[in-house]
Amino acid sequence: MSATSALQSRQKAAIPQGIATKTLYAARAENAEIWDVDGKRYIDFAAGIAVLNTGHRHPAVLRAVSEQAEAFTHTCFHVAPYESYIRLAERLNALTPGQFPKKTLLVTTGAEAVENAIKIARRATGRSAIIAFGGAFHGRTMMGMALTGKVVPYKKGFGPFPAEVYHAPFPKTFHGVDPAKAMEGLRQLFLNDVDPSRVAAIIVEPVQGEGGFYIAPAEFLRELRALCDQYGILLIADEIQTGIARTGRMFAIDHAGVVPDLITMAKGLAGGFPLAAVTGRADIMDAADPGGLGGTYGGSPIGVAAANAVLDVVDGENLSERAMQIGDLMRERLEDVARRNSLSCIGEVRNLGAMVAIEFVKNRDPRQPDSAVTSAIIAKAQEKGLILLSCGIDANIIRILAPLTIPLEQVEEGLTIFEAALAEVTASDSVALPA
């Protein structure tokens, strides 16, 4: 029995099936490569779901963590605060959009950041309703699930959810929902379901992550900002997957020139160590009374040290520029593949920086998502040594989130593996598509 097979058996016996995983078990990793317990090498096009923007085991991050561990690993910021937390907050206050005083809360996970952003928005406005979008993903906690716009597998059987959460359509041009239609959906929501004077905040991903890497057009985000200003609603940008240089800017909303009131971030912030943040207007962030925010592990010294190092790497290695270079390379090659695809299974290739997606449909028809071909390509690619992820309401989209430090020759190698997997899958009788 292989080491992988043995671990699969142990996992099945010891771990709930609700924790879905791939069938490879990591033994070691370096930058954009992973080796499993049987010694097989993989190109990593997942980066821990956009966590490892700086790659596996970046030397600067490891050095910072090691130095912090020599000093102390935990005091609880509420009990004995430390300078590095304050320094990171100062840096995030400066890096986030908006020329006004800001403050930052550090927590542990993306879902926790979202929960706290909602708490802060409700306390600051005295209102209770929240608007999110169809296809959104904001976490697996109760409020996170309520905000998430995808039922299976995230919400099915877990309700009831917190009240006064509403969903509006997200702009998806490939599916015929342009910014005008999306804004009309919000107006209809105000007419049919909730008085805008009761809405504390609208939370939006500038690029939907789990929802399918659909990119919010700049005009939509600008109109959303204007709508919030009109009704005194706070705008929350969920940058948990899009932030920290992933899209070619420090934050994806920077592409639109829109300034939110609050920003949530996590994933790429600390290079693989658990850390998340909420940054926002100082007067809004100060709305909660002392003791109303925080947590035992929030802003752990190890995570904070890693995050300060990550910000140094992003700046010192020009990772925003690197994200654009990687994204352009991937998009051009994938669009060429799509043009050569005689079976018409690639409906659209889209990207913002190094957030890259390929949507699979039957006969290029957006109304016919093809999850079977998607899952088959991902499985075949893994057999050949490439890690890919799916996403989308219909699980018919492959998302690519390679580390921003990946060598370009490994980008090419990974894309070659993808092409080979695509060719084999679409040639198979079991998933053949009409010409």
Q: What DSSP line would sit under 311-366, residue for residue?
A: HHHHHHTTHHHHHHHHHHHHHHHHHHHHHH-TT--EEEEEEETTEEEEEEEETTEE
Classified as helix, coil or strand, 117 is: helix
pTM above 0.75, yes or no: yes
| In a shared domain, residues 271 and 330 | no
| In a shared domain, residues 98 and 205 | yes
Instruction: Establish whether the linkage from the previous residue to 160 is cis, with ω within 30° of 0.
Output: yes
Q: How far is CA 318 from CA 131, 245, 256, 387, in A?
A: 35, 9, 21, 25
The amino acid at 422: L
Which tens digit of pLDDT belongs to each residue from 125-161? 999 999 999 999 999 999 999 999 999 999 999 999 9
| In a shared domain, residues 404 and 344 | yes
**What is the enclosing helix (H) or strand (E) of 106?**
strand 102-107
pLDDT in the model for residue 435: 34
| In a shared domain, residues 53 and 89 | no
Domain count, the chain: 2
| In a shared domain, residues 295 and 404 | no
Domain boundary among 316, 332, 349: 316
d(CA 62, CA 74): 17
Q: Which domain, by its residues, includes 264? A: 59-316
d(CA 262, CA 120): 9
pLDDT (mean) for 254-272:
98
| In a shared domain, residues 115 and 28 | no
pLDDT in the model for residue 431: 47
pLDDT in the model for residue 1: 83
Domain boundary among 267, 295, 316: 316
| In a shared domain, residues 147 and 275 | yes
| In a shared domain, residues 153 and 217 | yes
| In a shared domain, residues 36 and 65 | no
Per-residue pLDDT band for 245 (boundaries 50, 70, 90) equals: very high
CATH number at residue 49: 3.90.1150.10
Handedness of CA 190, 194, 199, 202 (dihedral sign): negative
* Count of other CB atoms within 10 angstroms of residue 358: 28
Domain boundary among 298, 316, 334: 316
| In a shared domain, residues 401 and 277 | no
| In a shared domain, residues 164 and 48 | no
| In a shared domain, residues 158 and 259 | yes
CATH number at residue 227: 3.40.640.10
pLDDT (mean) for 70-91:
98
Position 432 pLDDT exceeds 80: no
pLDDT in the model for residue 385: 98
Tokens, residue 409: 């020759």
Which tens digit of pLDDT belongs to each residue from 157-213? 999 999 999 999 999 999 999 999 999 999 999 999 999 999 999 999 999 999 999
Q: Which of 52, 7, 62 shows the shortest CA–CA distance to 31?
A: 52
Which tens digit of pLDDT belongs to each residue from 360-411? 999 999 999 999 999 999 999 999 999 999 999 999 999 999 999 999 999 9
CB-based burial label for 155 (10 Å; 0-12, 13-18, 19+): middle
Task: Give the distance from CA 287 to its chain's centroid.
Answer: 27
